[in-house]
Amino acid sequence: MQHSNTLFVGLDVHKEAISVAYVGAELGCEVVSLGSIGTRQADIDKLIRKLKGKAKKLLFVYEAGPCGYWLYRYLTKQGLACRVVAPSLIPRKPGDRVKTDRRDAVQLARLMRSGDLTAVYVPAIEDEAIRDLSRARQDAMHDLKAAKYRLKAFLLRHDIRYEGRASWNPAHLRWLAEVVCPTPAQQIVFQEYVRTVSEHQDRLVRLESELQAEVKTWRWASVVEAIQALRGVQFTVALTLIAELGDLTRFDNPRQLMSYLGLTPSEYSSGPLRRLGGITKAGNTHARRALSEGAWAYRYPAKVSRHLQLRLEKLPKAIQEISWKAQVRLCKRYRQLVARGKHANKVVVAIAREMAAFVWAIARVVQEAH
């Protein structure tokens, strides 16, 4: 091991400790476990010095998880190679029922040497900042929806009914201001629920305003603007897609993007029998949901609305042509699948899968223009 040119170093990263194991690139080398180290930079530097005494080249690997990418960025800043791999794609033996931090680190080192690990895309710091802001907006949306649900459930329990449509418009808000509950305690509960809804609405407005401001100086701002040429892809959907996916040109073809999003059908085939199941859902949940929401727009006939026309006027002719081509194809595809008796939800997923191809094509045009 002392004369090995390359060491593959497996790291099982946790909040307070990192389990370390390494193995040489030569055949017959055994995996060596170094135990656990701390997560301070001094601990990482000490590990690097120790391993550099054993080999000229070091290749670190650890699983993507809640600890983020700080370790990847620190190691790469030191000029060292590092890979962050997808936990769901790590090969596992069906009969292996023992899991420890030490065994995980050993397995990572061994599988990295054999080339059986799949690396994930690590966003730049500024890209991750936009993604965090986008996800914070989604969390605010979910919290607001839950707060409204609790308020309406409270009113329903006490048979306090609004005769109009509870759309939270000015008329509805004026009605809420006039509600009187049977007891003082219930009135306090009601006022707290109303106040919670207002706070979440204000929080959502702040986050959306901050997103609008931050995207203007983001390096992918032109791509976000360009893919809004597609019907059903307005600012929020476009931002979510690019914030979650990053550089779309890293995919060689649209099929790779579809697979990354988990929009391709699962398959279980054996011999002459070929069985296709539901979509794999193996990719980015946020991006897949955003595409699926946008796909509902294609249930209507192809048409350039006023809002879409305003977005198209700012874009090059090539992107406008892709937009219209997508409308004609996807609207027709939606009608065909529905006519064949397919459920609307399955049709939308199929449309979302093809939308990913058009998003990829527009991103490629933007990148080539720059």
| pLDDT tens digit sequence for 90-145 | 999 888 889 999 999 999 999 999 999 999 999 999 999 999 999 999 999 999 99
Q: Assess contact for 258 and 264: CB atoms under 8 A.
A: yes
pTM equals: 0.89
Task: Identify any residues that bridge with 133 across adjacent strands, giving them in sequence order.
Answer: none
Extract the tokens encoding 337. 């699948």
Phi, psi of 137 (to 5 degrees): -65, -40
Answer whether residue 183 shows pLDDT above 60.
yes
Tell me the C-alpha distance between 263 and 211, whole Å.
27
Answer whether residue 153 shows pLDDT above 90.
yes
| pLDDT tens digit sequence for 209-241 | 999 999 999 999 999 999 999 999 999 999 999
Task: Identify any residues that bridge with 270 across adjacent strands, giving them in sequence order.
Answer: 273
| pLDDT tens digit sequence for 294-337 | 999 999 999 999 999 999 999 999 999 999 999 999 999 999 99
DSSP codes joined into one string, 97-125: ----HHHHHHHHHHHHHHT---BPP---H
Alpha helices, DSSP H, located in 158-183: 170-177
Residue 3's pLDDT is 59
For the residues 69-89, what does the mean pLDDT come to?
95
Q: Assess contact for 229 and 320: CB atoms under 8 A.
A: yes
For 299, half-sphere exposure in the C-beta direction (CA atoms, 13 angstrom radius) is: 14
Q: Assess contact for 51 and 58: CB atoms under 8 A.
A: yes
Residue 355's pLDDT is 97
For the residues 72-80, what does the mean pLDDT come to?
96
Residue 1's pLDDT is 44
Q: What percent of the chain has pLDDT over 70?
A: 99
pLDDT bucket at 164, cuts 50 / 70 / 90: confident
Extract the tokens encoding 256. 């790779």
| pLDDT tens digit sequence for 246-299 | 999 899 999 999 999 999 988 888 888 888 888 888 888 999 999 999 999 999
For the residues 169-189, what does the mean pLDDT come to?
94
Among 6, 102, 116, which residue's Cα sits nearest to residue 60?
6
